[in-house]
Amino acid sequence: MKTLRVATCQFSVEADIDHNCRWVLKQIDQAADQNAKIAHFSECALSGYAGVDIPDVAAIDWDQLTRATEAIQQTARRRNIWVLLGSTHRLTGNHKPHNSVYVIDARGRIVNRYDKRYCTGLRQRKPTLDLTHFSPGQHFTTFRVGGVTCGVLICYDYRFPELYRHYKQLGVDVIFQSFHNARSTVVADPEYDIWKTIVPSTMACRAAENYFWVSANNSTARPSRWASFTVRPDGQIVGQLTLHRPGVLITDMQIGKGYFDAAGPWRETTMNGQLHSGELVDDPRSEDVTCL
């Protein structure tokens, strides 16, 4: 059985790129010191989140962001560790940037990038929230570490189970999902915090229905909705950090059979379009849906 040691990292993402970079570098070292193969960071962890941490993408110093990214690449190479870095990816002309996670390998190279596909909000035909600041992405992102196939998603993508099904079809063993459910004023009542329930339970469901591991992290900026956690393929949350405190959660993800998998016998046929188990019968009392 293959094992992938993952570091799920959280800190308070701020409007200050240098602040964010220092935390990323510090937590890469903490992850590497504990022999993690991958350090996973939250949504827009380096750049700050436009519309939340910073007013808009015009506030981003792109040269500073490039230098900070290069420093993180150098540290990944020096510490021989993969890094999944939430940031903002600039496009050309007047196109809005992508909300992205860079896949940096243990040699410090950006080998792939995931762009958030489901950017939040269209209200009254006017773009709001993410769509004010970002262009949606259009591709899946996979990579392999130690023979383990990994996929990447970002925040609001979790509302769309079709994305996870496609990753399952691509043979993904681990989903790395970067969130930013913090510093939010979306709800008028601060006591109403549906995210602290919905996010962990949804991610547990996604893991169990597809039989893969999940690393889900979050910014710790106040008010943070929930603390970073990991889920194993049977849907059990097996580790969680402390709310509003920076930290690195180490999880040894054992890849393969061995966990309870209720959907296992029928998952493949279901994905191929057979939406039932067993063999269908040809019986008039089956066809007549009004009889007793």
| Residue 107's CATH number | 3.60.110.10
Give the CA dihedral 57, 61, 67, 73, nearest 10 degrees: -10
pLDDT in tens, 155-170: 999 999 999 999 999 9
User: In this predicted structure, which of 99-108, 123-132, 206-215 has the lowest mean pLDDT?
Assistant: 123-132
Q: What is the pLDDT of residue 186?
A: 52
- Structural domain contains residue 227: yes
Residue 138 lies inside a defined structural domain of this protein: yes
Distance (Å, whole) CA 196 – CA 81: 31
Q: 169 lies in a domain?
A: yes
Domain assignment of residue 56, yes or no? yes
Conformational region of residue 129, where left means phi above 0, alpha means psi within -120 to 50, and beta covers everything else: left
Kindly report the pTM of this predicted structure.
Answer: 0.95
Quick check: is 277 in a domain? Answer: no
pLDDT at 122 over 90: no
pLDDT at 260 > cutoff 80: yes
What is the domain range of residue 52?
Answer: 2-261
DSSP secondary structure of 210-225: HT-EEEEE---PSSBS
Residue 280 lies inside a defined structural domain of this protein: no
Total of domains in the chain: 1
Residue 65 lies in a domain: yes
Binning pLDDT at 50, 70 and 90, where does residue 234 land?
A: very high
Instruction: Flag whether 100 is in a domain.
Output: yes
* 116 close to 136: Cβ distance less than 8 angstroms: yes
